Amino acid sequence: MTLYLQLFWSFFQVGLFSFGGGLATMPLIQDQVVNIHHWLTLPEFTDLITISQMTPGPIAVNSASFVGMRIAGIPGSLIATFACILPACIIVGILAYLYYRFRTLDTTRGILASVRPAVVALIASAGLAILINAFWPNGQVSPRETDLVAVGIFCAALIVLRRWKASPIQVMLGSGAIGCLLYLVLL
């Protein structure tokens, strides 16, 4: 029982204080899971981050299910995951209510007009980071290191999306399949 409570409280804190998302959450989880409670060793934690990077799902949720499962089985995994998203549920719920209640007011509209361009920029820079990682997988941005297969897939995918309004998930699956073929043939 104490273990469940500890799990709940630890991941509740992770959920509450993880502003910014993504890798910004990592130190917070590490602190709870490795330094305070010793539920995982550091190499195990590093593996967990690697898994999180190549699978869908937020790092915090992935960590909660992984750690919960490891130390307290399926109930542990469910408790940790629930604790981790509970703070966000409450806060986002309140914000959603406020947004839909007040968004037609001039003040709210004026403020949102300044926030929207920034959000577009945030999406663009997240996309650019992924793009650079795909084009230059070795971390060196130079013409010689360019992954031409990735450039080709990117251009083809963009054309299919713009010209034929293809579904993004089909485009992603197609890119995966073509990538698999081309990389294996060329290697």
Partner 1 sequence: MKEPDNHPEPANDTTAPAASFRTYWRLFWSTFYISAFTVGGGFVIIPLLKKKFADELHWIDEQEMVDLAAIAQSAPGALAVNASMLVGYRVAKVPGMLISIVATILPPLILLAVISAFYDILRGNVIVAAVLKGMAAGVAAVIADVVIDLGRKEVGKKDPLAIVIMLTAFCVTCFTNVNVALVVLSCILIGIARVLLARRRKPGGGESAS
Residue closer to partner 1 (CB basis): 20 or 143: 20
In the complex, the smallest distance separating the C-beta of residue 38 from partner 1, rounded to whole angstroms, is 19
The Cα–Cα gap between 9 and 23 comes to: 21
> For the chain, what is the radius of gyration of the CA atoms?
21
Helical residues (DSSP H) of the chain, grouped into ranges:
2-17, 26-30, 42-54, 59-102, 106-135, 148-164, 168-186
Kindly tell me which of 2 and 161 has the beta carbon lying closer to partner 1. Answer: 161
CB of 60 to partner 1, least distance (A): 5
Which two structure tokens, joined as six digits, stand for 11? Answer: 């991941």
C-alpha triplet 63, 75, 88: angle, nearest 5°? 50
Q: Taking the complex as a whole, how short is the minimal distance between the CB of residue 186 and partner 1, in angstroms?
A: 10
Nearer to partner 1, 36 or 92 (CB): 92
Amino acid at 137: P
Cβ proximity to partner 1: between 2 and 93 the closer is: 93
CB atoms within 10 A of CB 3: 14
Q: Which CB atom, from 2 or from 94, has the smaller least distance to partner 1?
A: 94
Instruction: Provide the minimum distance between the beta carbon of 10 and partner 1 in the complex, in angstroms, as a whole number.
Output: 15
Considering Cα of 83, then 87, then 92, then 97, what sign does the dihedral take?
A: positive
CB of 103 to partner 1, least distance (A): 7
